[in-house]
Structure 1
Amino acid sequence: MKTLQLLMKPNITALAYAMFMATNAAGIWGGVFPFLPFDMQSNALLFWFFLAQATTFFATFFFVSGLSYFAPSITARPLVAGAGVPYFLGWALIIGAMYFADLRMPLLVVGGACLGAGSAGFYLLWQRLFMAKETSRGVVDLMMGTVYSAVIYFALYLIPRAITVYLIPFAFMPLFALALVVCSREIDLSQPMFADEPRKNRRVYRNTLRVLYRSGLCVAALGFCTGCMRAAAIEQPEMGSYVNILSMVALLAAACSILAIWRSRDVKFNPLAIFRALVPAALTSLVLMPFLPAAYTQWLSAVFYSIYGIALLLMMIQTGQISRDLGVHPFFVYGLLGGVVYLMHDLGFVIGSAVELWGIYQPARILLALMMVYALAMVYFLCHTSLKTTIAKAFSDDSIELLALALTGRRESAEGKPAPMEAGSPSGNDALWDIDEPSSEASPDEVGQEALKDAPAALVEEDDRERVFTDRLSKQMDAVRRAYGLSARETEVAEAVARGKTVKRIAEELFVSENTVRTHTRRIYAKLGIHKKSELIDLAQSISR
């Protein structure tokens, strides 16, 4: 507990990230400019601004992800200027739009495009900084920055609007950009996730995509629904302000709750299980949308945006953990997953705007609700069911069995009567309704374990896996994990090392590079205060007594 209290003390990284988050909420969240005059927030202006901003936002994520794969040496540089220049220019153009009414549309569109590219660049740089730190330190800085950002954002409402508009680009932005430059100098670029050459470890990157695609689809579906809702927020700029406020409140509550629980126990999240739990409530709320007043739709958009903000926070943590565990460049993982999520958000925004603002379909809320229900239902199916397996099972299970007529006819003509049933088989109608059941010799748990044993580890959902102790050493290493706070990946590596497996074999079994295995081993030895394998075995034996 004392360790976590020390980690939670304010520091430059967390405070600078908080300034960035509060600035973003003032310019590109929720479909409004809360600190700019309402005469700049007509439906047409806001639509084209956010379309330009959202397009360059997801495009920047994809671009940097591809750059980290094909030219990793370029992404090893700080690149803060590459994000800071367009970000500052975007705000400058927005301020210019206040004074040049005739040029307001082109200024806002170009400003939105610059803000999107700069904001995406900063998000990627912050992610890299957080995940380059020791695991707990990086996640705590991310959480504390989220907490402080809500406080700073609410404080902006106490400052006159005319001052706030200039305060953001000329005070906040230089401060958090400078802090990012200073903190980035501490990044150890020798870590496997930065020193990795992706094209030499394609198998590792393919496995990363297999691990991530389901949780990515869940957040993408939520992004699509939030984009549709964002169109409703733009139609009512005043409502958009409440969307921003509720989003910040939700992030504040989520970050504080995680930190409070983390003080006394381990915190684990399964994105697929969370999505599975939320889908019934989400579908119900969307089905009710066409039948309730417009105010319900507006507040529902605020709730969706709040959940979406929390999902993005968890996505940052998950992608960072995968980068460390698999030794994959954080720009590749976060850039690719973020690009998909924000692309779906942009698509939902465009479709929702077309329906809401341009009157493509009336009543608009029916079509919007139908599209969002369809998106959530399809992703739920894809994430929790294998289409290929389902189709194969539909025509291979013998719950309903019809014997081939040609064979039956030949049998009856040869013998003059139906062929007798074999001894011990069901008779009469029971034969047609014979359902495979687990044999009495194997319990359901044993059957389930056998099924999991045959499945690739990367494709088995976490909530479907329980830690199984194969022998005494496996149980001893679990005791070491609990005593010294090893991560799940570190425990796997430690157990493999204790079994005498080579670095090459461990890398093959865990779908990581050999350099990543060596780094995990160094961290394990440092955490346990040991220097060689024999000491690891001795420690495991002593701690389990």
Structure 2
Amino acid sequence: MGYVADIAKSLRARDTVFFGGYALYLAFSYMTFHSATVLTSAGPLGYGIEVMFSIGAMGARIVVYLICALVVRRLPKTSNSITALMTIGVAMVGFLVAGMVFQFSSAVSVDMFAPWLLLAGVLLGAGDALITLLWARFSSTLTLRAVYLFVVLCNAVSLVFYFVVTLIPSSAALPVAALLFAFSALFAKKALDARPTVEPEYSGPVFSGAVKGLWHPVLGTVILCFMSGLMLQISGQHEIPLESFQQTSLFTSAIAVVCLILPALLIKKPFNVGRIYSVALPLSAAGFLLLPIIWNAAGGIVNAFAQLGAMVAGIILWCMIADSANDTKLPSTLLFGLALACTNAAQLAGTAIGFLNAETLKQGDLVLTTVALVSVYLLLMAALLLFKDKRLASDDDEPAAQLTPEEALASRCDEIAADHQFTPRETEIFKLLAQGYTMPVISEKLFVSENTVKSHVKSIYQKLGIHVRSELIDLVNRP
């Protein structure tokens, strides 16, 4: 675990606090969108109103993600301060509208305050998308292992914040959520300022290569997000007391976070984060298999399984997109915007379909059993699709065989890469350097810019303590 200590030593205490601002955002998200914690400030609004709020937020996220992805290359670069202030401004208007609705919800009819609550959902969803893209920019400045540790640890810390929130009076939930959001946006600005500035580069072939590398995990996560939205509506979640739902979510999420953090702490060699999809898929499948049997028992444990599957898949996808943006120097807003628009659209579709059909599905119902089996089948298809992709497969799954000279060279490069803690992309470029390829050729093979290749080669030379290609060849050929 020396690499963890190295990361910790390289950070100043102040920077560590700012980086933890992502945990504040996650706690805000749990309160506002993943449970009814914030909406309970207004008392019983009705489940249909809560779903309308969620749908408004998801729709706004999709629009903001797509707009930002499409215009990121055409707009002049704005400072981190302006972006953070704009993000806070949009969200604060949403909080004000929501506060107004909560204040008068008991005195006016549902028909009067429902459009205003929908507007609050739209504004908070737009603010949520903007702050997500801020933290995406920060994540894209980290290596794969670093961003994985960052995201998982922030998820762990956010559970602590969320637990504290469950202890406060419900009337304080809305202002607490507003404070969490504002501080998270400010910390995101400070965290970006603390990282080296990297000018994004765009080229068609590089973008095509990134899409080719990411579409399998995006599709897998889309399926899980659709299932998550569907399960939330058909599992009887709205019949569960909020306290029970919160406790179940906290407990199951804590277990999932522990399972996620162990690979990064215990595996020394460069680990393939995509393999952790093997955790997400069984979690969701278990939820749907149990659905016809235990319905909403144990505080919504069935629903929690499906939500955890989507959460784990979302964490993995976040890390893979951040690593791709870091590696290719493509604008992070472009990659994250397109991918997150897809996952939110899938969750929106699952939520809408589940809500419209929830009343026709009852525990033990034949239709419900059919839904569960079809869902498991779709998850199985997602598993086959993901693990058929060799980039998401484990190197340990390859059968033992007599190595050819090319395979022996690759094996020797893997050993050196593991000993010097190369990133996956550095390992890939290291192998091509050892085979004698030039930087322009490597750039074409990997669909990245030549400047990106030069940056990785410089890092490889520094880690090996060498200065020229001949020293690299000697090192590889040394017994």
Normalising by the smaller structure, the TM-score range is 0.7 to 0.9
Q: Is the 8 A contact 1:506 1:517 kept in 2?
A: yes
SS of structure 1 residue aligned to 2:168? coil
Q: Is the 8 A contact 2:422 2:460 kept in 1?
A: yes
Amino acid at match of 2:46: S
Displacement of 1:165 in angstroms is 2.8
Q: Is the 8 A contact 1:231 1:349 kept in 2?
A: yes
Which structure has more relative contact order (CA 8 Å, sep 6+)? It is 2
Quick check: 1:116 aligned with 2:104?
no
Q: Is the 8 A contact 1:25 1:153 kept in 2?
A: yes
Displacement of 1:507 in angstroms is 1.1
Quote the residue 1:81 is aligned against.
Answer: 85
Q: Is the 8 A contact 1:14 1:142 kept in 2?
A: no
Instruction: Give the Cα–Cα distance (whole angstroms) in 1 for the partners of residues 382 and 20 of structure 2.
Output: 39
Instruction: Give the Cα–Cα distance (whole angstroms) in 1 for the partners of residues 234 and 300 of structure 2.
Output: 7
Instruction: Give the Cα–Cα distance (whole angstroms) in 1 for the partners of residues 70 and 375 of structure 2.
Output: 27
Instruction: Give the Cα–Cα distance (whole angstroms) in 1 for the partners of residues 30 and 95 of structure 2.
Output: 13
Deviations along 1:298-329, whole A, 9 cap, x unmatched? 43112211222222112111211222233333
Superposition pairs of residues 6-155 of structure 1, within 5 angstroms? 7=7, 11-30=16-35, 32-33=36-37, 36-37=40-41, 39-68=43-72, 70-71=73-74, 73-74=76-77, 79-101=83-105, 102=108, 103-155=112-164
Superposition pairs of residues 212-361 of structure 1, within 5 angstroms? 212-232=214-234, 236=238, 238-239=240-241, 241-266=243-268, 268-269=271-272, 271=274, 274-275=277-278, 278=281, 282-283=284-285, 286=288, 289-290=291-292, 292=294, 294-295=296-297, 298-357=300-359, 359=360
Superposition RMSD in Å: 3.3
Normalised by the size of structure 2, how large is the TM-score?
A: 0.84
Q: Is the 8 A contact 1:23 1:168 kept in 2?
A: yes
Instruction: Give the Cα–Cα distance (whole angstroms) in 2 for the partners of residues 275 and 14 of structure 1.
Output: 28
Displacement of 1:350 in angstroms is 0.3
Displacement of 1:47 in angstroms is 1.9
Q: 1:255 to 1:290 in 2, by over 3 A?
A: closer
Q: 1:252 to 1:273 in 2, by over 3 A?
A: closer
Instruction: Give the Cα–Cα distance (whole angstroms) in 2 for the partners of residues 37 and 66 of structure 1.
Output: 37
Instruction: Give the Cα–Cα distance (whole angstroms) in 2 for the partners of residues 364 and 213 of structure 1.
Output: 36
Displacement of 1:269 in angstroms is 4.3
Amino acid at match of 1:516: T
Instruction: Give the Cα–Cα distance (whole angstroms) in 2 for the partners of residues 274 and 189 of structure 1.
Output: 32
Q: Is the 8 A contact 1:225 1:372 kept in 2?
A: no
Higher helix share: 2
5+ residue gaps, structure 1: 387-454
Instruction: Give the Cα–Cα distance (whole angstroms) in 2 for the partners of residues 246 and 294 of structure 1.
Output: 11
SS of structure 2 residue aligned to 1:531? coil
Displacement of 1:460 in angstroms is 6.0
Instruction: Give the Cα–Cα distance (whole angstroms) in 2 for the partners of residues 234 and 96 of structure 1.
Output: 29
Displacement of 1:162 in angstroms is 2.8
Deviations along 1:87-134, whole A, 9 cap, x unmatched? 222222222112122243122111111111111211121121022134
Q: Is the 8 A contact 2:26 2:158 kept in 1?
A: yes
Aligned with residue 191 of structure 2, among 176, 183, 196: 183
Quote the residue 1:393 is aligned against.
Answer: none
Instruction: Give the Cα–Cα distance (whole angstroms) in 2 for the partners of residues 236 and 209 of structure 1.
Output: 38
Task: Compare 223-232 and 494-503 and name the one that shifted more.
Answer: 494-503
Q: 1:235 to 1:273 in 2, by over 3 A?
A: closer
Instruction: Give the Cα–Cα distance (whole angstroms) in 2 for the partners of residues 256 and 363 of structure 1.
Output: 32
Displacement of 1:369 in angstroms is 5.1
Quote the residue 2:459 is aligned against.
Answer: 523
Instruction: Give the Cα–Cα distance (whole angstroms) in 2 for the partners of residues 277 and 67 of structure 1.
Output: 33
Q: Once superposed, which parts of structure 1, at least 4 consecutive aligned residues long, lie more than 6 Å away?
A: 361-364
Amino acid at match of 1:274: Y
SS of structure 2 residue aligned to 1:500? coil
- Number of residue pairs aligned between Structure 1 and Structure 2: 461
Q: Is the 8 A contact 2:142 2:326 kept in 1?
A: no
Quote the residue 1:440 is aligned against.
Answer: none
SS of structure 2 residue aligned to 1:132? coil
Q: Is the 8 A contact 1:67 1:74 kept in 2?
A: no
Quote the residue 1:4 is aligned against.
Answer: 4
Superposition pairs of residues 461-472 of structure 1, within 5 angstroms? 462-463=393-394, 466=398, 470=406
Q: 1:338 to 1:99 in 2, by over 3 A?
A: same
Q: 1:363 to 1:176 in 2, by over 3 A?
A: closer
Amino acid at match of 2:374: Y
Amino acid at match of 1:88: M
Quote the residue 1:478 is aligned against.
Answer: 414
Instruction: Give the Cα–Cα distance (whole angstroms) in 2 for the partners of residues 321 and 300 of structure 1.
Output: 33
